[in-house]
Amino acid sequence: MIHRTALGDSPTDDQAIAADDVARLIAEESRPAPAGRPWVAINMVTSLDGGTATAAGVSGDLGDDVDTLVFAALRSVADVVLAGSATVTAERYRPPRADPERAEARTARGQQPMPRIAVVSNAGDIDLDLPLFTATDRSSRPIVLVASGRIEKSRRERLAEVADVHDAGDEAVDPERALAVLAEAAGARIVLCEGGPTLNGLLLAADLVDEWCLTLGPHLVGGDSARAAHGPGIDPPSAFALHRLWRHDDELLLRYVRRR
Ligand SMILES: NC(=O)c1ccc[n+]([C@@H]2O[C@H](COP(=O)([O-])OP(=O)(O)OC[C@H]3O[C@@H](n4cnc5c(N)ncnc54)[C@H](OP(=O)(O)O)[C@@H]3O)[C@@H](O)[C@H]2O)c1
């Protein structure tokens, strides 16, 4: 059972929600595209001590099955799922799973039946043997966002065989340009960034994050994995308001929205 805590002036009391309701409730959350760019949501899972990966270098064991449900539900509201090259490699990304029921709901909302996956990599140096690039049953080609001054011609050509390659910066991928490319090339109005910490840090530093979803798993992992966002500091800190507080066993599933 998942427990939902009533927030703010909500007239409803705390209540239990069923796992079957997770996708619907997340789809009902408001995500209006700001003027000139898509809405940007980040979804991360961390340990109690702020770790983003276990000693194995991946995040899978940090969250439980309800975190997996939230992960899938967020994907099903996104037009594009964005991730850094290191995450795509570490987490062995594959094409999004087909789900006829979700596809129907997406089409009814005017979205493509499945989200596109977009990978950020300056030099396009990504393992092309990943299932993301090799699966034969995928519904669309992945997008790769690169820096024009960093990628070699031969690498661009090789990537273009398996993905749609777009320039999104000169010496480094620029997050604003990346979002503009995703709006133009994939019609993105909602971009879900799944990390990692480096990519999150770039988006935060440019104040492009509208929503921060965080699953706090009941574990301590120690180690030296980065915090959920890593990079230039932000001064003053950007403020967020709590919009969702769910608990499943000892895990918290939180949604914060940027105060603008
Ligand atoms: N707990 C969670 O929810 C979660 C979520 C995601 C990932 N993770 C973990 O996080 C780790 C990977 O995260 P990460 O922070 O190392 O990498 P990342 O954010 O996944 O990817 C960073 C990559 O972005 C590219 N990039 C493009 N523009 C850039 C710029 N201006 N500055 C810097 N980099 C730029 C670089 O690619 P190129 O080197 O190709 O140029 C860089 O390697 C993995 O261990 C993964 O398991 C955890």
- Is the pLDDT at 102 greater than 80? The verdict is yes
Domain range holding 112? Answer: 36-50+62-258
Residue 151 lies in a domain: yes
Ligand 1 centroid distance, CA of 202 (Å): 10
Token representation of residue 68:
């997996």
Q: What is the pLDDT of residue 67?
A: 98
Q: What is the CATH number of the domain that holds 225?
A: 3.40.430.10
Rounded to an integer, the average pLDDT of 138-162 is: 95
- Is the pLDDT at 138 greater than 80? The verdict is no
Residue 178 lies in a domain: yes
* Residue whose CA is at the smallest distance from ligand 1 atom 23: 84
Residue 11 lies in a domain: no
Rounded to an integer, the average pLDDT of 207-235 is: 96
- Is the pLDDT at 137 greater than 80? The verdict is no
Per-chain mean pLDDT for the chain: 95
Ligand 1 centroid distance, CA of 252 (Å): 24
- Any atom of ligand 1 within 6 Å of the Cβ of 59: yes
Query: Cα separation of 129 and 119, whole Å?
Result: 14
- If one residue of 67, 81, 122, 219 were mutated to test the ligand 1 pocket, choosing by the most ligand atoms within 8 A of its CB, it would be 122
Backbone angles phi, psi at 14, to 5 degrees: -55, 145
Q: Into how many domains does the chain fold?
A: 1
Residue 238 lies in a domain: yes
- Any atom of ligand 1 within 6 Å of the Cβ of 174: no
- Any idea what DSSP says for residue 219? -
Burial of 21 (0-12, 13-18, 19+ CB in 10 A): middle
- Is the pLDDT at 77 greater than 90? The verdict is yes
Residue 234 lies in a domain: yes
| Percent of the chain whose predicted confidence (pLDDT) is above 70 | 100
Residue 19 lies in a domain: no
Residue 172 lies in a domain: yes
pTM of the model: 0.97
Distances (CA, A) of 165 to 44, 124, 225: 26, 9, 29
- If one residue of 49, 54, 81, 120 were mutated to test the ligand 1 pocket, choosing by the most ligand atoms within 8 A of its CB, it would be 120
- If one residue of 148, 155, 199 were mutated to test the ligand 1 pocket, choosing by the most ligand atoms within 8 A of its CB, it would be 199
